[in-house]
Structure 1
Amino acid sequence: MNPALQPVLEVHAMSMQRQDRMVLNRVSMSVPFGAHVALVGPNGSGKTTLLQVMAGRLQPSQGRVTVGGLDLARMPGMERARQLAVVHQHEQVHGQLRVRDYVALGRTPHVEASKDESAQAVSSALTRCRLDGLQDRLMRTLSGGEQQRAAIARALAQEPRILLLDEPTNHLDLRTRADVLDLLAELGVTVVAALHELSLVQRFAHRVVLLSQGQVLADDQPSRVFTQELVLGHFGMDVFYLPIPHREHDVAVFESPQTARSPLAERFGAAIR
């Protein structure tokens, strides 16, 4: 097998039970190096719990998670932090820190690195997240989108193999959501992100994993997951595919069934798949 296609992150028949509720039910998935995977599903489908187990923050009731073939549960904390970086839905901002110092917090797992190596890692993360001109600003002075880019830069400074994100576009305006996901698409690292906004998934994801009631119902490229049957059945929405200038593939547009059947939709001639 091509080394670039070998799995870097694997979830093996993993279940998670809380009280009398099965939050995750024998979930299995494999994420190759460099893949961008979106976790989607209705509220309560298990997306955040799955990310927490992948990050080693929760121990599953059954099954295991491996990174590069090594059991995550047996991995020392510092080694785990060199393998995985996490950006939470509600990040602690550390408002009195300057941006460059906040991003430098990501170097904590690399205590053996030289000052020059760490400085280079921080500088690279700032550049990749387009924060060069903001590095001397206090975190509390940044906009919501800038703070989110700083959180991603801090995670990149860890130099992880895998980046895990829980609703990274939540509470951001529409343009900033698109900018954050475009950034993720350009990073060149393995990314698994739980997303609520279906219309933004195609901006960065190679694969979509659809969860419902703690089970994986579909795991494929976006156009094969966002079918009329699955979208209507699990989100109560219709899906249209429309050509967009400068986009290689048609883009999924999600509408309520009433809107989708309106004369306006027919006038645009959108074909439902």
Structure 2
Amino acid sequence: MRLDIEGLAADAGTARLLDDIRLTVDSGTFVGLVGPNGSGKSTLLRCVYRALRPAGGAVRLNGDDLHGMDARAAARLLAALPQESSAEFDFTVAEVVGMGRHPHRNRTAADDRAICAGAMDRTGVAHLADRGFLALSGGEKQRVLIARALAQRPQVLVLDEPTNHLDIAHQLDVLALVRASGLTVLAALHDLNLAAAHCDLLYVIADGRIVASGPPLDVLRPELLADVFGVRAHPVRHPVTGAVQLLFDLLPTTP
């Protein structure tokens, strides 16, 4: 399923947070959204997963306006993992993952259990099924929430900093799992090296506008990173995968 963002704008009071955002995620591809803190990444994703209504423009799934769909229909197509997720009640892990099945009307308990068990196996949290969600570590919670999104069986997955709280092994595992899922994926990623290694395309956002887009090797250029992130970058090739990786230091200060 193809995701198109067309001329999207978002406001907070009189301030414009996003302006004329245009972005495409082709079916089955993994697209990364990168940019400095406060650039608009989370605001853009909130518009995509319907937590925020845009001030202008449209979000389309295979040409259909996502914000024109009823909530249940939209949830059958698109699942999201926000940057901050909270729970007021101490549900078990199995119950949290099971919430991903709610958008589906024609389902059976046996099917739900099998789908949820598969999602927990894939994210490495099956052994936590009977544990209370609130007692988990940050990394465990993150993997449970990814399992919930997978249990939803969407066609489009929107992730806001999905590797937050994860150690490096689980960061690599989760992004490899997402990439292998075959879903259409749009993810905001803080770590540029993870973005370069796992994404088909990158969009760079700064001050609420897209300033660059393309394959990671074309986008992650030292001059752009100096301008957008304020760092000096030294691209190198990963010795095994050949993916571009970056070494960083501070820009030299002028006397």
Q: TM-score with structure 1 length normalisation?
A: 0.85
Alignment of 1:143-154 (within 5 A): 143-154=137-148
Correspondence for 2:226 among 225, 228, 232: 232
Number of aligned pairs? 253
Aligned residue among 73, 82, 97 for 1:103: 97
Which range moved further: 243-252 or 12-21? 243-252
Amino acid at match of 1:102: V
Structure number with larger C-alpha Rg: 1
CA contact under 8 A between 2:231 and 2:249: conserved in structure 1?
A: yes
- What is the 5 A alignment of 1:1-273? 8-93=2-87, 96-258=90-252
Distance 1:22 1:94 in 2: 32
Structure with bigger RCO (C-alpha 8 Å, 6+ apart): 2
Q: CA deviation at 1:241?
A: 2.3
Tell me, in whole angstroms, the C-alpha distance in 2 between the residues paired with 1:257 and 1:81.
Answer: 44
1:139–1:18 CA distance, 2 compared to 1 (3 A) = closer
CA distance in 2 between counterparts of 1:161 and 1:249 reads 27
Structure 2 contact 142–166 (Cα < 8 Å) conserved: no
Runs of 4+ residues deviating >6 angstroms: none
Distance 2:47 2:197 in 1: 25
Q: Deviations over 1:4-27 (max 9, x none)?
A: xxx611111111232332211111
SS of 1:151 mapped into structure 2 = helix
Counterparts of 1:108 and 1:203, CA distance in 2 = 34
Identity of aligned residues (%): 35
Deviation at 1:29, TM superposition (A): 1.1
Superposition deviation, residue 90 in structure 1: 1.5
Gap regions ≥5 residues in structure 2: none
Equivalent residue letter for 1:209: Y
Consecutive unaligned residues of structure 1, counting only runs of 5 or more, are: 1-6, 259-273
Q: TM (normalized to structure 2)?
A: 0.91
